[in-house]
A and B are shown apart, each in its own frame.
Chain A
Amino acid sequence: MRDDPTVVALVNRAAGGDPAAWEQIVERYGPLVWSICARFQLSNHDREDVGQNVWLLLVEQLGKLRVPAALPGWLATTTQRECLRVVTTARRSERLGTGLDDALQFVDKTIIDEEILMAERNAALRAAFAELPPKCQRLLAMLTSDPPSSYAVISATLQIPVGSIGPQRARCLERLRKSSALAGFDDFSWTEGEHYA
């Protein structure tokens, strides 16, 4: 796991009373909390309950986290624990037994490690994307949409000749690749990431 200086700085700033840093933490790792709730197949109501508790617990832990860089791991395990709590409480009130056995089918050490790696990579990619010039952001957004926009549509929308889309795409991706936000992603290979596709 890389030691992300951004995460450490955000945690320290939030602990020191900077609300903007807190909002960035939530923006960065909200998708991680959400994806774990999705793994447990929680209703929106339960996701709100879990999300609220996880972030409130983190507010209390700010400044007490021994290794701020380990924040994604802390968030993932805390979210998983809250999901288990919600699932077991719900099953019990429906008199379906403790529900713990049912819930444990969603618990897997490998999955949570992958979710953490994925969340860190996604956060870094979004941060790098946000640093790109608006022209590059618009082009890459259209190229990554699902389904991807055709060159004809991109040409018409962004008012650039079809022939220059390819070269611009290459230049924008090169800027993305060189972004400082992506620096340090040298300890896990792309092929590892392919599991998530």
Chain B
Amino acid sequence: MPDGGDWDDEQLLAALGEAIRARQGVPEWFVETGKSAYAWHNIDGELAQLTFDSSRDEDTVAAVRSEAASIRALTFTSPRLSIELEVASDSLLGQIIPPRGGMIEVHTTAGVASSSVDEVGCFAITPIPTSPFRLRCRTEDGTDVLTGWITL
């Protein structure tokens, strides 16, 4: 089997042209988006996994539910707490289980916005983030939980 050293000049030149064009065909904004993701490296906090997404499970229940009633609901679970989230018309409504007060932060690549969580664990996020985001929940008892990335 011939290796890279066996390519003749025409083959090597053609391969090089292809390689250069493959990079030139990628817009800079696409590359920059990837580079900026590094800002999320080494963010502490226990990860809460997505354990329920009504839109993903929708197909199985669609037959028995009227379409108008379908509000998107998500649940994130970590060993110490769960975050339940509902997508309302203009905001995200959530609750921390088991209920307790604290702060909820919405992290996007653009920055961080925070709102308070009341003593029964409820919070509201307005407006609904349009880009991928993740939630970080810090409760009064010191629990620090971060969800995976969410795209609505």
Contact A197 B31 (CB under 8 A): no
B interface with A by C-beta (< 8 Å): 1-7, 9, 11-23, 25-27, 29-31, 33-35, 37-38, 40-42, 55, 58-59, 109, 131-132, 149, 151
- In the complex, what residues of A have CB within 8 A of residue B42's CB? 17
CB of A51, distance to nearest CB on chain B (Å): 5
Complex Cα gap A22–B26 (Å) = 18
B132/A125 in contact, CB under 8 A: no
Q: Is there an interface contact between B40 and A22, defined as CB atoms closer than 8 Å?
A: no
Q: Which residues of B contact A70 (CB under 8 A)?
A: none
Whether B41 and A31, one on each chain, are in contact in the complex, defined by CB atoms closer than 8 angstroms, is: no
Tell me how far the C-beta of B89 lies from the nearest C-beta in chain A, rounded to whole angstroms: 15
Shortest Cβ distance from residue A28 to the other chain B in the assembled complex, whole angstroms: 9
In this complex, the interface size class of chain A, counting residues with CB under 8 Å from chain B, is 35 or more
Give me the interface of A with B, judged by CB distance under 8 Å.
Answer: 14, 17, 19, 22-23, 26-27, 30-31, 33-35, 44, 47-49, 51-60, 62, 89, 92, 98, 118, 121-123, 125-126, 129, 140-141, 143-146, 169-170, 173, 176-178, 182-183, 185-190, 193, 196-197
Given A31-B26, A92-B55, A182-B4; A52-B19 close (CB under 8 Å):
no
A19 touching B38, Cβ below 8 Å:
yes
Question: Which residues in A have their C-beta under 8 angstroms from that of B23?
Answer: 27, 30-31, 122, 126
A60 contacts B7, CB within 8 Å?
no
Q: Is the CB of A126 within 8 A of B35?
A: no
A92 and B62 CA atoms in complex are apart in Å by 12
The answer to whether B19 touches A125, judged by C-beta atoms less than 8 angstroms apart, is yes
**Cβ of A18 to closest chain B Cβ, rounded Å:** 10
Q: Does the CB pair A56–B4 fall under 8 Å?
A: no
Q: Is the CB of B12 within 8 A of A52?
A: no
Give the Cβ gap from B111 to chain A, nearest Cβ, in Å. 15
- CB of B33 within 8 A of CB of A52, answer yes
**Set of chain B residues within 8 Å of A177, measured between Cβ atoms:** 4-5, 7, 12
- In whole angstroms, what is the CA distance A126 to B15 when docked? 10
Residues of A within 8 A of B12 (CB): 173, 176-177
Looking at the assembled complex, report how far the CB atom of B74 sits from the nearest CB atom of chain A, in whole angstroms.
Answer: 13
Contact of B26 among A30, A57, A92, A178 (CB under 8 A): A30
Contact A144 B13 (CB under 8 A): yes
17 contacts between A and B (CB under 8 A): A14-B38, A17-B41, A34-B25, A34-B30, A35-B22, A51-B34, A52-B34, A52-B132, A55-B34, A121-B19, A125-B16, A129-B16, A173-B12, A177-B12, A183-B4, A186-B1, A187-B1
Give bound CA distance, A98 to B40, whole Å.
Answer: 32
Specify which chain A residues have a CB less than 8 angstroms from the CB of B26 in the assembled complex: 30-31, 34
